[in-house]
Chain A
Amino acid sequence: MTRVRSIAGTRARARTYAQRYVAPRAVELDRRIGDDPTYFDWELVTTGLRYRLLSEIIPTQVGGCGGTAVNGAVMLEELAAACPGVANLFGAHALGILPLLLTGPAHWVGVLREIVEAERRGEPLLMGLAITEPDAGTDVEDPDLLRTARIGTRARKVPGGYRLTGTKRFISNGNVARWLTVIMPTDPHRPAETWTAFLVDTRSDGFSVGRIEHKMGQRASPAAELRFDDVFVTDAALIGREGDGLAGTIGTLAASRAPVGAIATGIARGAYERLLAWLETDPQAGELLAHQHVQLTLARMAEDIELARHGYLSAAQRFDKTVGRPLSHPLVRALGMVPPVVWRSERMRRQINAPWVREETMRVLRRATTDREVTESLALSSLAKAHGADVAMAVTGAALDIAGLAAGPVRAELEKLWRDAKLTQIYEGTNQLNRLEVYRGLCRGETLAALPPVGTAAARLGGPT
């Protein structure tokens, strides 16, 4: 397998997979899952393994492609142009990985290496991120709202680890992921102060999958209810440190919203390209091109798509230059020089998971960037997401309007993209919430406490030192 980190290389790999394998089955897959939401197309995921999309953003130090936020976003645009549900499947996988990337190498040599090795063996190993709850959706995406959120989950400290209880909802890949990044408070009455991320093995006792949602669109990526019934995780399952979850969430959202803008851009592009191809190849449909309304609409689509792409690329580049900067820190780069066999040693893995390594990671992060930079990165990412999502809705709606009900097979494809587009205005925080982040971060120049503080967990959480 080759290591490809160029943007063009990522785009080419993703496009080949998307156009060769995903696009031809997108409508039928959507119909099938519409009839049976529990159906999941493992074959489609397995087919994609050779394109290394599951390890796109995993560091080269543990065998991944080492792609940046820009690589990840470009990949999602290509997938979304073929099928937004499949893009979301890979996007949700990346979302589960992001907190592991941002909190230091503790889990790189474990789970991330496992994903890479499974990919090489031809076995898909998916991740997901579980944060949304039945009574807290938008609340958990915003630092202010989180303080008053009605959180129903809890991670209780016990000797050697934590016990997780409660229910998460609408979790993309929740029922197909092997590993989940799960965020819960250790004190539900103080969720913002005790928001903590854990790595959970979905084979753990007490973990179960509830309802698989019947969604309007983006069906290739399942959304599941997840139940945690006293699930035990060890202290090593902590992602970052106890109580760092809110800062981790801000960093994760700064990384994950631009990719949603990329998915939205891909949806708009998919609709535009399909409409144009239909108009250009169907001799009778081509008569519509004589209408100035159609010409202006196509021009507007091209304009909106170009600007949406600029928005997500710009946000992803900003992320790479700020929050992503520690990933190229010399200490982090040096990990790549350690022979893989070393990481198979349990003693070494304990070492890299030690509290001092986590503390040092926070120091590296704090030296590499600032609260202000992360806040700006989040605002730009939110801007790209909200704008891209509106473009996706506008372009898919306009494409349907032009094609009409007599358009033949392209009609089903456009209708699917229109249904798919709506979700981009909702997930990763509603567009309204995203624009409030833009207001705070850009218009008002506010600065969030976006970086975890340095110091012991007990001290930070107000407990005994």
Chain B
Amino acid sequence: MTLGTVHDDLVMVARDFTAHVLVPRSQALDAMRPGVAAAVWRQVAELGLDRALLAEARGGVGLDVGDFLCVLEEVAVGDAGVALEVLLNNTALVSLPAELVADLPEGTRWTVGFAPGPGESPVAGVDLIRDGGSVFLTGRLAAVFGAVGADGTIVTTRQPKPAVIAVSAAAPGLTISAYPLQLGLRAAAAADLIFARVAGAEVPAEGAAVVESRARALVRCGVAAIANGIARRAHEIARDYAHTRIQGGVRLVRHGAIKDMLAGMVVRLHAAAACRLGAAADDPVAALAHKVAASDAAAATTIDAVQLLGGMGYMVDTGVEKLMRDAKYCQLYPERNWLAGAELIDPEGSSSPHRPW
């Protein structure tokens, strides 16, 4: 079954994919076993998830952003790294110039690298050099998720002015330096991209600001959806364990400390479910607020889930410690939560059309 047009059908397809493809392979994906991520990506492509957001006229499924984020959350319940690859590929495809997308073979995978904004990352960044109608990149982008094995990367910058450049993975001068010690989201294997005057294809300057802003907002909303999926999975595991494990002669769930932790998880899940992520997908500030809230909630839930499982939770077998690692990266990507303040209180941001108050 491939993606249909009805929301519930989409969710069911994604849920089925999660249950039968991702959950059984979650440990292998986390261990970065060779071939597993590529095989899973082929199934992602068969379902059309890889180009779910792309308009039908351009060869995609043409999903509404809200539906896409729901699907993404379902995929993240199975594996957050795969969900991130789906998010980044879709973001890349809707950001690429139409003529480039048309030439991409089926099953191609692209990713997105955000150049740091002011004060974000003092140890990495890229410079653009325009030379006779061509654009070249120099510098370094750190921790680009999904870059290992990707066919190309969309590089977006905000400084000194918005720009969006597509760079093929095979471009001369580009070094992709993988990072084997990646803590979380390991199915989307990250790498540092080192550019030594690498040629790219640029989105026309007049559209770049819109494309950059939309890509940033989409990834923020997508990471929020992924964080929600991580938290759901952690809650499921913790709840099931609490109802089966016996401690002190009674089921774990009968202990007050455990009830407190489970109740906190449920409160956070309800709060997350009430957010209309799709409505924020064209507003980077609203998207950022959602991403901060969702990732902090997922971090709290996963840490409690490991705690609830005790020694079992600390072992890789239950998969719950992996969720804790995945959630931590959601607090750091696409930007660190603590740096969000400057953008959230920006006067331009406060005029967001999506203010709920």
Q: Which A residues contact B (CB, under 8 angstroms)? A: 27, 31, 132, 135, 137-139, 142, 144-145, 147-150, 169-170, 213-217, 223, 282, 284-288, 291, 293, 297, 393, 397, 400-402, 404-408, 412, 415, 418-419, 422-423, 425-427, 430-432, 436
Contacts and interface: CB of A to CB of B under 8 A. Distances in A.
B307 A430 contact: yes
Interface in B325-343: 325, 328-329, 331-333, 336-338, 341
A422 B316 contact: no
Given A405-B329, A406-B124, A426-B310, 20 more contacts: A27-B181, A137-B310, A137-B312, A138-B247, A145-B247, A145-B248, A169-B311, A170-B311, A213-B315, A214-B315, A216-B316, A217-B314, A285-B122, A285-B123, A288-B122, A291-B119, A400-B328, A402-B338, A404-B120, A426-B313
Given A293-B338, A412-B181, A426-B310, A404 B316 contact: no
Interface of B: 116, 119-124, 142-143, 180-181, 183, 190, 246-249, 257, 299, 303, 306-307, 310-317, 321, 324-325, 328-329, 331-333, 336-338, 341
Given A401-B331, A419-B325, A215 B338 contact: no
B257 A404 contact: no
Contact of A418 (B248, B249, B328): B328
A405 B143 CA distance: 6
B307 A431 contact: yes
A31 B325 CA distance: 16
Given A139-B248, A426-B313, A406 B142 contact: yes
A340 B310 CA distance: 44
B123 A408 contact: yes
| Residue of B190, B247, B299, B303 with highest tally of chain A CB at under 10 A | B247
A405 B123 CA distance: 10
Nearest to A398: B338
Contacts of A216: 306, 314-316, 321, 324-325
B121 A406 contact: yes
A422 B303 contact: yes
Contacts, number: 112
A405 B315 contact: no
Contacts of A419: 183, 325
Contacts of A282: 123
A31 B31 CA distance: 12
A415 B122 contact: no
A139 B247 contact: yes
Contacts of A144: 248
Contacts of B142: 405-406
B307 A401 contact: no
B219 to A, nearest CB: 14
A402 B120 CA distance: 10
A406 B248 contact: no
Nearest to B121: A406
A214 B317 contact: yes
A148 B119 contact: no
> Top 9 closest A-B pairs, CB basis?
A148-B249, A406-B142, A405-B143, A284-B122, A432-B257, A216-B321, A406-B121, A145-B248, A406-B124
Contacts of B120: 404
A213 B314 CA distance: 10
Contacts of B190: 405
A429 B222 CA distance: 38
B256 to A, nearest CB: 9
A415 B257 contact: no
A426 B247 contact: no
A213 B143 CA distance: 30
A423 B314 contact: yes
Contacts of A223: 311
A400 B332 contact: yes
Contact of A406 (B143, B303, B317, B338): B143
17 contacts: A31-B180, A132-B311, A139-B248, A142-B248, A170-B311, A214-B316, A214-B317, A397-B328, A401-B336, A404-B121, A406-B116, A406-B123, A415-B181, A418-B183, A422-B314, A426-B307, A426-B313
Given A406-B142, A412-B181, A401 B332 contact: yes
A357 B127 CA distance: 79
A129 to B, nearest CB: 14
A137 B121 CA distance: 43
Contacts of B324: 216, 422
A437 to B, nearest CB: 13
Contacts of B316: 214-216
Contacts of B124: 406
Nearest to A142: B248
B122 A405 contact: no
Nearest to A146: B248
B311 A405 contact: no
Nearest to B245: A135
B314 A404 contact: no
Contacts of A431: 307
A404 B332 contact: yes
Nearest to A145: B248
Contacts of B143: 405-406
Contact of B337 (A213, A297, A401): A401
Contacts of A293: 338, 341
A215 B315 contact: yes
| Residue of A149, A293, A405, A431 with highest tally of chain B CB at under 10 A | A405
A52 B334 CA distance: 47
A426 B311 contact: yes
Nearest to B322: A216
B325 to A, nearest CB: 7
Contacts of A132: 311
A412 B248 CA distance: 39
A430 B310 contact: yes
Given A31-B181, A406-B116, A425 B122 contact: no
Nearest to B140: A406
B317 A401 contact: no
A287 B303 contact: no
Nearest to A136: B247
Contacts of B303: 393, 422
Contacts of A406: 116, 121, 123-124, 142-143
Nearest to B324: A422
Contacts of A405: 142-143, 190, 329, 332-333
Given A215-B314, A406-B142, A419-B325, A150 B336 contact: no
A53 B306 CA distance: 32
Nearest to B333: A405
